[in-house]
Amino acid sequence: MYVEAEAAGYFFSQYEWHGKNGEYADRPGYRTLEIPSLYVDNAFPYMKAAKDNWTSKFPETAKFAATIQDPELRAMKVGQLKEGIDAGYEEIAKMTEQLMSPGEDKPWAFCLIMHPKIGSKILRVAMAIAKEEGFDIDAIHDDEGHLIDETLEWGTCAVDGRDAIYTSFMEKWTSKGKSAHVVHWLQQLGLMTSK
């Protein structure tokens, strides 16, 4: 009972996000573009914290477990809880990975560009990959590839190669031929018209 009560905050936020639509919702029901925020800001951090230190998310459960007199039973119950947390973490990690990796038919990763905290870093990764792939992103071309403005000056944006988010996404988005998918979706979503 303690586990269920303490996990309610996590599950209610998930339910509120997924479960309210139509006239019951306090906002429009189409929330696809916000899916990365749900995972980046809520689901993944919660499960990561629980995996790293389960007592941080389940303090009352930990207090109750400490009252179990039989050490074998206590170890078994704590072990079951940790196994459940590990399984939940693996599932959230798998879903988060699918959302954050561009693929041939998966543009969802680009929803991350709108994230208020990491969006600009993700866009920098995408633009750096486009430049590495030989796209001239410092000029404007029309849909047929004709040069419209060669003097376009976007300015430069400093990229800290030590930034964990930047390096993680650069690694993830350039592995296994994903660079071509990044450029493809930049063009398909209208974020880049270049030759």
Q: Measure the CA–CA gap between 189 and 33, rounded to whole angstroms.
A: 13
Q: What is the pLDDT of residue 1?
A: 60
In 3-state terms, what secondary structure has residue 103?
strand
Q: What is the pLDDT of residue 185?
A: 81
In the numeric block, the tokens 């030590």 are attached to 162
Confidence of residue 188 (pLDDT cuts 50, 70, 90): confident
Over 50: is that where the pLDDT of 195 sits?
no
The closest alpha carbon to 169, from 117, 115, 129, 116, belongs to 129
Q: Which residue has the higher pLDDT, 102 or 16?
A: 102
DSSP state of 24: G
Q: What is the pLDDT of residue 80?
A: 93
Ramachandran quadrant class, 145 (left: phi over 0; alpha: psi -120 to 50; beta: rest): left
Q: Measure the CA–CA gap between 92 and 87, rounded to whole angstroms.
A: 9
Which tokens hold the place of 149? 């403005």
Over 90: is that where the pLDDT of 83 sits?
yes
